Structure 1
Amino acid sequence: MFGVVRPCRHVLCGGLFEDWLAHLCGLCLTLRREHGQAARLVTNYDGLLVSVLVEAQRPEVSPRRKAGPCALRGLRGARVVSARSEGARLAAAASLLLAAGRVRDHVADGDGVYARRLVAAAAGRLADRWDGAGARTGAAVGFDAGVLREAVARQPVLEAAGGAGLLELTEPTETAVAAVFAHTAVLAGREGNAGALAEAGRFFGRIAHLVDAVEDLPDDLASGAYNPLVATGTHVGEARRLCEEAHHGLRLALADVRMEDRRLARALLDREVRRSIDRVFNAYPPGGHVPQGPYPPQG
């Protein structure tokens, strides 16, 4: 997944920051426990949303435990989500599978250091390990890794073919996130939530893909790397409109999800997503065009 949800202590009030940190540290420690220290590299802010959604629907299935001091917590201990939690394990599986796909995408595009043969070969082996690890952990919680693999594999094919519209390019991400979000309902024993969560996942995936594209735009233009806004000739203002509509749809979908404690899920998927959209797009003037880059407008 991407980096849309990046809260800090002064934004998450009350005990919500500690709850968020419990899920972040729980994801990191679950990756270490099941796949070794190197797997902790795929820990990301958006991945922990999976663990948050499971707990929001049924808190008792996400036990906490005491963790020792960590440098990233200022050498303090903390109460974290246990690696026994199926939500944390699903978050770990999704993070590994999606990270493997992104590394392979960078290798295929020859981005930056990935253009070097030895780096590309090492990155490819690492991606294979992460992919296998994610599939094993996903299977342990009943999740079919094939859904994510197929979606991730379809992304570079769409980009290479040319002629796709912007929402066609975001579709693989939407499909992948929808599948993971829907499976949180299965783990929580709330199967009736699966449809609404899949819809929420599709909207969140769209936002994540577009926010990532806008954040990467200056670097992509400078390096000549692929960027979906440049490839489709999409205005930054149009990308913002699509994000605004997706955020509205995300809020409506979440309102249909039965949760026992929705405070953290709402803070992250509503307020923090809203803040991220504003943060990224406010750097551009309203209605601004994407500068001409290495990929001509298509369609």
Structure 2
Amino acid sequence: MFGIVRPCTHRLTDGLKTEWMAHLCGLCLALRADHGQLARVVTNYDGLIVSVLTEAQTGVTAAGRRTAGPCALRAMRTAPVAQGEGARLAAAVSLVLASAKVRDHVADRDGLLARKPVAAAARRVARSWDKAGARTGRALGFDTAVLVDAVDRQTGIETLAGLGTPLLTVTEPTETATAAAFAHTAVLAGRPENAAPLAEAGRLFGRLAHLLDAVEDQPADAEAGAWNPLTATGTSREEARRLADDALHGIRLALRDADFADDKLVHVLLAHELRSSVDRAFGTTSCSHGAGGRYEAQGQYGPPPGQGQGQGPVPGNPYAGGGSGPYNPYGGGGNPFGGGGAGGPGGPGGLPPQFGGGAPQAPKPRGFLAGCAAFTWLFCTCQICCAKEYEGPWSRKKREGCCRDCNCDSGCGNCDCCCPCDGC
């Protein structure tokens, strides 16, 4: 299971937990029903947001739910699951984007995909997913060509990007793809007036997804010599954090402009859990709108020395107002967790190699098919949810189960306590 919005179910009320699981299972079953068993491997947390947005605009209807049979991932229990156009759109989008990811892995000759027979089989799978996603998209009035075009442009943009290239130039294709998917939920729900604000929310969500992926992968990419947006453009983690906070604020404001029948789950996922995703990626705890936008580093090291300043609104975001305030400079030598930086392992003031210092050796990422096999094992054994620590199926980075050590008192019961100036 992958995606940036990974809510801890202990923080959801019983009703919202049931709703969230209904959309997650609904996406999985929509993939199976329309595209076969293999397609279920592309089930992801972010894709189900498309289904959630559609239902939030129409409200829960009898036709939008069905009782699914026993499943091993639900301890052989039946459960109500989402069905209908929202779940099918989420499935189509997930398939097309997963197909693009497979082609990217084939082009990079990652892992087993360096072998011609395996690469040929992966290309066939990708082509079938492309066609299946496009077929479902057409049935729903959604042209998946906008997603394919965005993915194709991404490669060219990354090839041309270098030091000084604005980071938002690199994130633009992802923003365009997610904006189109979010906006089409308004069409499916019969709420055309919601298309513009949801497109804006989708654009900023895509930006945030790209940013967080770059932040989390930067150490491993540096070790492997792989391309990373932050490194390639010379963008500091301080600036990446500013862009992330701005996107969070913009998403909340955009959602206010949309008209929902029931927005409780949307609010929890895109206001509260999305903020938790940002904090998790940067290793911080924060409320981006409290006390001038300050955030602090957790852990025994405390905050790194020095302060930066916010740089005003982000170009192209009409909702976010930017604003100045001290930020945690997690880039360069100020990062106590980075390799080779001041105070970090192997850097000035860090531990020498004989005492455990030096940059850790990142394991080599798995190829697509090997990652799918690892994902299936992790998912079926519930390690993704409950394990203290597990190895990411594709990246092989250490991750924690999404329900491990969660703060069960930090739910969404009283929003005033966590984002007062937003009034969310």
Query: TM-score with structure 2 length normalisation?
Result: 0.66
Distance 2:24 2:166 in 1: 35
Match of residue 154 from structure 2: 155
Report the alpha carbon displacement of residue 105 of structure 1 after superposing the two structures with TM. Answer: 1.7
Aligned residues: 291
SS of equivalent to 1:10: helix
SS of equivalent to 2:10: coil
Is the counterpart of residue 24 in structure 1 residue 24 in structure 2? yes
Whichever residue aligns with residue 4 of structure 1, its letter is I
Match of residue 42 from structure 1: 42
Q: Which has the higher contact order (CA 8 A, sep 6+)?
A: 1
Report the alpha carbon displacement of residue 292 of structure 1 after superposing the two structures with TM. Answer: 9.5
Q: Is the 8 A contact 1:237 1:289 kept in 2?
A: yes
Match of residue 297 from structure 1: none
Assess, with a 3 A threshold, how the Cα gap between structure 1 residues 257 and 123 changes in structure 2: closer, same or farther. same
Alignment of 1:130-141 (within 5 A): 130-141=129-140
Q: Is the 8 A contact 1:23 1:80 kept in 2?
A: yes
Match of residue 250 from structure 1: 251
Distance 1:249 1:138 in 2: 28
The structure that has the greater radius of gyration is 2
Distance 2:49 2:242 in 1: 24
Report the alpha carbon displacement of residue 113 of structure 1 after superposing the two structures with TM. Answer: 3.5
Cα deviation per residue 1:33-61 (whole Å; 9 max; x = unaligned)? 01100000110000000000000000256
Match of residue 10 from structure 2: 10
Report the alpha carbon displacement of residue 13 of structure 1 after superposing the two structures with TM. Answer: 1.8
Cα deviation per residue 1:142-167 (whole Å; 9 max; x = unaligned)? 00111111111111111112334211
Match of residue 287 from structure 1: 329
Q: Is the 8 A contact 1:57 1:188 kept in 2?
A: yes
Report the alpha carbon displacement of residue 107 of structure 1 after superposing the two structures with TM. Answer: 2.0
Report the alpha carbon displacement of residue 282 of structure 1 after superposing the two structures with TM. Answer: 1.4
Alignment of 1:184-263 (within 5 A): 184-263=185-264
Q: Is the 8 A contact 2:102 2:122 kept in 1?
A: yes
Distance 2:267 2:330 in 1: 31
Report the alpha carbon displacement of residue 288 of structure 1 after superposing the two structures with TM. Answer: 2.5
**Structure 1 stretches of 4+ moved >6 Å:** none
Distance 1:99 1:292 in 2: 32
Report the alpha carbon displacement of residue 2 of structure 1 after superposing the two structures with TM. Answer: 6.3
Q: Is the 8 A contact 2:161 2:170 kept in 1?
A: no
Which structure: greater helix fraction?
1
Distance 1:269 1:226 in 2: 29
Alignment of 1:48-87 (within 5 A): 48-60=48-60, 63-82=64-83, 85-87=84-86
Report the alpha carbon displacement of residue 232 of structure 1 after superposing the two structures with TM. Answer: 1.1
Query: TM-score with structure 1 length normalisation?
Result: 0.92
SS of equivalent to 1:102: helix
SS of equivalent to 2:173: helix
In terms of mean alpha carbon deviation, does 163-172 or 250-259 score higher? 163-172
Distance 1:191 1:10 in 2: 35
Match of residue 296 from structure 1: none
Distance 1:205 1:2 in 2: 15
Match of residue 127 from structure 1: 126
SS of equivalent to 1:259: coil
In terms of mean alpha carbon deviation, does 179-188 or 107-116 score higher? 107-116
Q: Is the 8 A contact 2:180 2:199 kept in 1?
A: yes
Distance 1:2 1:108 in 2: 22
Match of residue 266 from structure 2: 265
Report the alpha carbon displacement of residue 125 of structure 1 after superposing the two structures with TM. Answer: 1.6
In terms of mean alpha carbon deviation, does 51-60 or 32-41 score higher? 51-60
Whichever residue aligns with residue 238 of structure 2, its letter is G
Cα deviation per residue 1:81-126 (whole Å; 9 max; x = unaligned)? 12xx100110000000111111112222333443333332222221
Whichever residue aligns with residue 47 of structure 1, its letter is G
Q: Percent identity?
A: 62
Cα deviation per residue 1:176-234 (whole Å; 9 max; x = unaligned)? 00000000000000001000000000000000111111122222122222211111121
Assess, with a 3 A threshold, how the Cα gap between structure 1 residues 60 and 15 changes in structure 2: closer, same or farther. closer
